[in-house]
Amino acid sequence: MSLNIHDTVQLNSGRQMPMLGFGTWKLKDGPVVRDAVAAAFAAGYRHIDTAAAYENEHGVGQAIRQSHLPRADIFLTTKVFNDDIRKGPAAVQKAFEKSLGLLGVDYIDLYLLHWPIIGKDLEAWRVLERLYHEGKVRSIGVSNYLPHHLDALIAHAEITPMVNQVEFHPYLLQPGLADACRKHGIVREAWSPLMQGKITEVPEIVEIARQHGKTPAQIVLHWDLQHRVVTIPRSSNPKRIVENAGLYDFELTPGDIAILDQLDRKQRFGPDPDNFDF
């Protein structure tokens, strides 16, 4: 499958979402996240992912303004966090307005519910639906939703989520979730695609990287994209940011993909959406 950095996937909103994005989780607000996003723009990324919970939206917004890129060329994602979802619709609306102000933009390309909060996410979703109809958000979705969370929300929603951002990597394929997303026309997006750095400890990944003359990160990110899963690697190192975008001058063989697919251990490096308390 031939890939390039400009590849996109069409969401049910009709919008095009870049397949490769830049994640900002754990990047400190201010110069750290601002400079990392600037390096990502220089490397060709046009999709930036942040969240209210990351507490770095202001720095992300600074990088967007200082890039002088047309706003229409940037796909910007942020998320409403659990505390605001729990507090109800007014808090979700207020959280959105705060994010919009910190980012310094007129609209958000993709706004997500950060985690499933049973009993509260439907009323929060109603706010996202309204923001979408008002044009303040171009697409809406969820994060960390398992199949039963999706079914419960979609049963009462006017608009089906367009994206589900979930933990996805060679140790956690979640085929049942993939099937559920496919059934509803939901695009999957991978967070923690590099297993929080643990990919360098997996002999099969290291060997495939050696054979292709690539880094383990490049191999896994390319594998994500060949599975048509949007992926958002994160780094504060300019060299690594460029490396992570260097995915388009090689191809994984069917044998490579089969080896990576068989690594699934159902192992999470982040919280289990069914068992978390934050």
What digits encode the pLDDT tens for the residues 81-105?
A: 999 999 999 999 999 999 999 999 9
pTM of the predicted protein model? 0.96
Distance of CA 151 to CAs 28, 67, 85, 129, Å? 35, 40, 19, 17
Select from 146, 218, 155 the least CA-distant residue to 175. Answer: 146
Using CA atoms, how far residue 71 sits from 31, 41, 46, 109, in Å, is 21, 13, 10, 10
Phi first, then psi, for residue 91 (nearest 5°) are -70, -35
Which of 43, 121, 66, 63 has its CA nearest to residue 89? 121
Edge-to-edge strands of the sheet including 137-143? 22-23, 47-49, 75-80, 108-113, 137-143, 163-167, 187-191, 230-231
Q: Which amino acid belongs to residue 57?
A: E
- Which amino acid appears at position 68 of this protein? H
Whole-number Å distance between alpha carbons of 42 and 254 = 32
CA distance 99 to 277: 23
Residue ranges of alpha helices (H) inside the chain are 31-43, 57-67, 82-87, 89-103, 121-133, 147-154, 175-184, 203-212, 216-226, 238-244, 254-261
User: What pLDDT score was predicted for residue 4?
Assistant: 84
User: How much is the pLDDT for 246?
Assistant: 86
Domains of the chain: 8-261 (3.20.20.100)
**Active-site pick, 54, 111, 132, 145:** 54
pLDDT for the residue numbered 1: 58
* Residue 271, both tokens: 């919280």
Q: Which parts of the chain register pLDDT below 70?
A: 1-2
| Assigned token pair, 227 | 């599975």
**Is residue 111 flagged as an active site residue?**
no
What is the SS3 assignment for 163?
strand
> Pick from 225, 252, 177, 194: which is nearest to 25 by CA?
194
